[in-house]
Structure 1
Amino acid sequence: MDPGRLDWDDIRLFLAIARAGTLTGAGKVLKLSQPTAGRRLRALEAACGVALFQRTAAGLQLTDEGEAMLLGAQRMEDEALSLQRQFAGSGEAVAGALRLSSSEWFAHLVLTPPVTAFAMRHPMVTVELIADFRLLSLDRREAELVFRFKPFDAPHIVQRRFTHIRYGLFAAPAYVEAHGFPAPGSDGEGHRLVMMDSQFDTLADVGWLRRRFPRARIAIRSNSREVQAVAATRGAGLAVLPVLLGQTYGLVAEPGVDVPPGRDIWLGYHADLKRLPRLRALVDHLVGSVADPL
């Protein structure tokens, strides 16, 4: 292998292919066409003198030599990203780009209004709000600010509890008129439920719903709270939703004191960016603009 023929772009391509498993997927990440990605991979393998990937029906799989290269490539990426974060964190002007990541309904109903106000107040800042179930990586600078439902466990992440989300049991007015809410102590027989899909069965509100109404029929499951809210408005059944979301969709909340457990929202950003003026300004603005609890 001739080390002089390798550069950071080669390593980025290698890592993108290893993660995506296809040239097309890697090309989307790096904004390359599939033929260009393939040509560059062939040149990289020629420079290394070994095959880094095995072509299979399931996609590109790392060879033993590729696995050995992966560890070093990841270390190079970590160092490069650390330098990028440090340089980004040294800026003085409230200007530049910021990417935020959160769940769909939270981005829509909670973050969009204050983010819009911030962008209007700071015209030199471009805010990209990614509403996605998959939260983006702070380490790889896929996002500068992430909102999620549990504390961050990495020591290099600066975090704070952002707000508390209250939940309620909701149904469409027509459903309540036709069926009412289950009577206290009822097992839910004769009712339908709209709830999170099976990968979220450990969530406290899912357990609350199942314990309270063990004989209710599950009509619809989804990993999207907004999908659940829309289904409930169409009369699909009873749904545990954030209070703000249920109210926004015009649903009726069950009266009484037996309410589903709430959840805290945490915000986090990489410690290398803690002196970045535009990020500090946005965090301060959001903390001052969003109610606690919601």
Structure 2
Amino acid sequence: MHFRMDWRSITFDWNRARAFLVTAEEGSLSAAARALGMAQPTLGRQVSALEDELGVALFERTGRGLELTPTGIELVDHVRAMGAAATRISLAASGQSQEIAGRVCITASEIYSAYLLPAVVAELRQNAPGLEIEINATNAVTDLRRREADIAIRNTAPKDPALTAKRIAEDTGWFYASEAYLARRGTPQGLEDFAGHDFVAMDSAEQMIGALANFDIPLTREMLAIRADNHLVHWELARQGVAIGIGPDFLGRSTPGMVRLLPGHGPIRYPVWLVAHREVKSSRRIRLVWDRIERHLRARLRPKPEE
């Protein structure tokens, strides 16, 4: 059954319609309030007032947040079209470009956050100064369904059907050591030469031993006397010649004084995915940031291999 209404009988308030549209695109009142720069209670009153004005329920309040009703799903396309028309009228009258503004939170690993995302943010600040960019640098998996972030850069594909994902590149990594370390301890010529060298462990020594055993890399507990959970600290320990570390090749190639060991072996390969909640992905500012991240990562990392 399709949504039908006699629009002539309604005094339409565009502010309320915009509140509904942004809430539908953002998926929650809190995210929509941040996007519009208003208090959440004020936004909630505008959405409720539109429901009262139209005499329909636009959202269902669930434990996971807000979900559009069938009427809301049908109405949101009409309101989006109205918003686009209003924008075109405004642009034609003012001759100005449409501004993209609001908060966007990106979550990525510590290495990606420190060495890949700053260039993205620098470009966005020039082209879309109205954006507020937040970077959540963590190696843990952030819950996008709960809106802990808007966009995630991950090395595994998401299984949640509520998320949209795109495999955009392939990253590679291997063992690196500083020139100072190699001058002091010698350069390994084969995997068997790793014996007697010091390595920086990630997580626990046992986990790293087990993970690298899959690549026929023989490490022992005694070789992993140094441990750093933070990947930036891990890389800095290797860069300063304390021990051999593991790092992505894009970072190793660009770091003066770092040497990739055993060039005939490896590398360890892992995919790079961009992930967002399906509803959030429909936001113009999220799409803009997504596109900029994708372009920068494709330029810095290996192209995605053909399936």
TM-score by length of 1: 0.64
Q: Establish whether residue 264 from structure 1 lines up as the match of residue 271 from structure 2.
A: yes
Give the Å deviation of 1:168: 2.2
Q: Which residue of 1 aligns with 2:302?
A: 293
Picking from 272, 282, 286, the partner of 1:275 is: 282
Give the Å deviation of 1:108: 0.9
- SS at 1:177's partner residue? helix
Q: Which residue of 2 aligns with 1:159?
A: 165
Give the Å deviation of 1:244: 2.5
Counterparts of 1:288 and 1:101, CA distance in 2:
17
Q: Which residue of 1 aligns with 2:229?
A: 223
- SS at 2:237's partner residue? helix
Counterparts of 1:226 and 1:266, CA distance in 2:
21
- 1:228-239 correspondence to structure 2 within 5 Å: 228-239=234-245
Q: Which residue of 2 aligns with 1:254?
A: 261
Q: Establish whether residue 193 from structure 1 lines up as the match of residue 199 from structure 2.
A: yes
More deviation in 121-130 or 199-208? 199-208
Counterparts of 2:230 and 2:159, CA distance in 1:
25
Q: Which residue of 1 aligns with 2:119?
A: 113
Give the Å deviation of 1:231: 0.9
Counterparts of 1:203 and 1:155, CA distance in 2:
34
- SS at 2:140's partner residue? coil
Deviations 1:24-72 (A, max 9, x none): xxxxxxxxxxxxxxxxxxxxxxxxxxxxxxxxxxxxxxxxxxxxxxxxx
- SS at 2:120's partner residue? helix
Give the paired residue count: 216
More deviation in 244-253 or 119-128? 244-253
Give the Å deviation of 1:253: 1.3
Counterparts of 1:228 and 1:173, CA distance in 2:
17
Picking from 285, 291, 305, the partner of 1:284 is: 291
Picking from 175, 181, 190, the partner of 2:181 is: 175
Q: 2:201 is matched by which residue type in structure 1?
A: M
Counterparts of 1:187 and 1:228, CA distance in 2:
22
- SS at 1:165's partner residue? strand
Paired residues of 1:100 and 1:127 also in contact (CA < 8 A):
yes
Paired residues of 1:219 and 1:237 also in contact (CA < 8 A):
no
Paired residues of 2:110 and 2:138 also in contact (CA < 8 A):
yes
User: Aligned in 2, Cα 1:184/1:133: closer, same or farther, shift over 3 Å?
Assistant: closer
Aligned-CA RMSD value:
3.0
Paired residues of 2:212 and 2:218 also in contact (CA < 8 A):
no
More deviation in 128-137 or 105-114? 128-137
Q: Establish whether residue 78 from structure 1 lines up as the match of residue 84 from structure 2.
A: no
Paired residues of 1:103 and 1:133 also in contact (CA < 8 A):
yes
Q: Which residue of 2 aligns with 1:11?
A: none
Paired residues of 1:167 and 1:241 also in contact (CA < 8 A):
yes
Paired residues of 1:115 and 1:127 also in contact (CA < 8 A):
yes
Give the Å deviation of 1:215: 8.1
- SS at 2:116's partner residue? helix
Give the Å deviation of 1:255: 4.4
Rg larger in structure: 2
- SS at 2:157's partner residue? coil
**Structure 2: gaps spanning 5 or more residues:** 1-60, 85-98
User: Aligned in 2, Cα 1:127/1:184: closer, same or farther, shift over 3 Å?
Assistant: same
Picking from 242, 248, 253, the partner of 1:242 is: 248
TM-score by length of 2: 0.62
Q: Which residue of 2 aligns with 1:207?
A: 213
Paired residues of 1:165 and 1:242 also in contact (CA < 8 A):
yes
- SS at 2:224's partner residue? strand
Give the Å deviation of 1:216: 6.3
Residue identity (%): 24
Counterparts of 2:206 and 2:278, CA distance in 1:
30
Counterparts of 1:212 and 1:260, CA distance in 2:
16
**Structure 1: gaps spanning 5 or more residues:** 1-74
Paired residues of 1:109 and 1:245 also in contact (CA < 8 A):
yes
